[in-house]
Amino acid sequence: MNKPAVSFEFFPAKTELGHEKLLSTFDELNKLAPTYFSVTYGAGGSTRDRTLSIVQALLERSDTPIAPHISCIGDDKSKIAELLELYKNLGINRLVALRGDLPSGQVGMGELPFALDLVKFIREHSGDHFHIEVAAYPEMHPQARSFQFDVDNLVNKYQAGANASITQFFYNADSYLYLRDTLKQRGIDTTAQPLVAGIMPITNSSNLVRFADSCGADIPRYVRKQLADFGDDRRAIRDFGFEVVHRLCERLISEGVPAMHFYSMNKVEPNKRLVKSLGLAAETV
Ligand code: FAD
């Protein structure tokens, strides 16, 4: 059976208590033996200190690689170069490179307006030191001029030196498979430069709908309707959400997906339940 690699994404906590909780979440998910953990970064440097602090704390905790996200919109090259040096000195050798979205009120795209510019800059600055992952959109980035333009952008990011891309979350396996096949037709060897499936467990109805609407991810009607029917019944949402995402992952595995990146939302249970039931956890867990 195809056994895809697993990774988990965290966002930096806002409080000391949240930070401590995240460390114990890390310990639990780390038992599943993921390939790496990534930590998000607020565009324009808005979470710089918090991202750095959790990255350092996780590095001290185990040998599992940590991949900080790094964004370029609104930042200048010197700030990004400083961060690259810092990460190199911490022994980090993988990054998730993004454009980011400017926090409301902040203006000015900065010296590197798109993720493609960032990938080129990282390669110019640090050569092959970092394994670089970029973002991909099976259902198109919401600001893209067209689907084809967005695919061109992804192809350009691979050609500029991205080692892999991670998709926005999706619940329609065909959108992922279509993008993968389109990349192959465009000459990208997705065995060497994989398209990693971004997986969002479903645990909460209103947050999911708001998040999906803002990032242009489609929630199928049968899912949206049933989540609405469940109202405040959190257990029913969790069980139905598990079933939907489990089926999605099974289909992706049967289609040979090389890796799955779980948008963990800093939670243990929904991620652990999926990874274990899909048979992707370490043998000992
Ligand atoms: P790009 O690849 O630069 O694309 C952005 C848009 O610009 C697309 O619509 C593209 O088609 C268009 N475009 C590209 N080049 C041009 C051009 N020359 N002219 C006109 N249009 C162009 N956000 C954060 O702030 N922090 C995070 O940590 C974070 N992590 C993420 C992790 C993953 C796996 C994913 C999928 C997304 C993440 N995001 C994060 C969200 C991401 O930053 C947003 O989706 C952002 O709007 C686009 O980032 P990008 O890297 O895809 O940008």
* Cβ partners under 8 Å of residue 221, min gap 6: none
Per-residue pLDDT reduced to its tens digit, 211-226: 999 999 999 999 999 9
pLDDT at 54 over 80: yes
Check if 9 is active-site.
Answer: yes
Pocket of ligand 1, beta carbon within 6 A: 40-43, 69, 71, 96, 98-101, 114-116, 135, 141, 143-144, 149-150, 153, 166, 168, 198
State the Cα torsion 17-18-23-26 to the nearest 10°. Answer: 150
Q: Are 223 and 170 in contact (CB under 8 A)?
A: no
Which helix H or strand E contains 164, and what residues bound it?
strand 164-167
Place of tokens 């607020």: 42
Query: What residues have CB less than 8 Å from 19, skipping those under 6 apart?
Result: 12, 13, 53, 54, 57
In sequence order, the β-bridge partners of residue 71 are 98
How many angstroms does the Cα of residue 171 sit away from the middle of ligand 1?
Answer: 20
Query: Is pLDDT above 90 for 16?
Result: yes
Calculate mean pLDDT across residues 29-36: 98
Domains and CATH numbers, the chain: 5-277 (3.20.20.220)
Would the pLDDT of 81 be above 80? yes
Question: What's residue 158's pLDDT?
Answer: 98
Q: Supply the pTM of this predicted model.
A: 0.97
Tens of pLDDT, residue by residue over 175-207, are: 999 999 999 999 999 999 999 999 999 999 999
Nearest-atom index, ligand 1, CA of 11: 28
Q: Distance (Å, rounded) from C-alpha 48 to C-alpha 67?
A: 14
Q: Which of 7, 46, 83, 99 to mutate to test the pocket of ligand 1 (most atoms within 8 A of CB)?
A: 99
- Of the listed 9, 16, 85, 124, which one is catalytic? 9
Atom 16, ligand 1: which residue's CA is nearest? 114
**How large is the greatest C-alpha to C-alpha distance in the chain, in angstroms?**
52
For the chain, give the mean pLDDT.
96
pLDDT of the residue at 266: 98
* Res 44: pLDDT: 82
What spacing in Å lies between the alpha carbon of 277 and ligand 1's midpoint? 32
pLDDT of 249 higher than 90: yes
Going from the Cα of 209 to the center of ligand 1, the distance in angstroms, rounded, reads 20
Q: Quote the CA–CA distance of 128 and 80 in Å, as a whole number.
A: 16
Is 272 a residue whose pLDDT tops 70? yes
Euclidean distance between CA atoms 253 and 192, whole angstroms:
18
Q: How far is the CA of 284 from the centre of ligand 1 (A)?
A: 38
- Closest residue to atom 17 of ligand 1, CA basis: 114
Contact 72, 110 (CB under 8 A): yes
CA 60 – ligand 1 centroid, Å: 30
CA distances from 138 to 67, 86, 179, 225 (A): 22, 33, 6, 23
128 close to 118: Cβ distance less than 8 angstroms: no
pLDDT value of residue 113: 94
pLDDT tens by residue, 107-164: 778 899 999 999 999 999 999 999 999 999 999 999 999 999 999 999 999 999 999 9
Confidence at 284, pLDDT banded by 50, 70, 90:
low
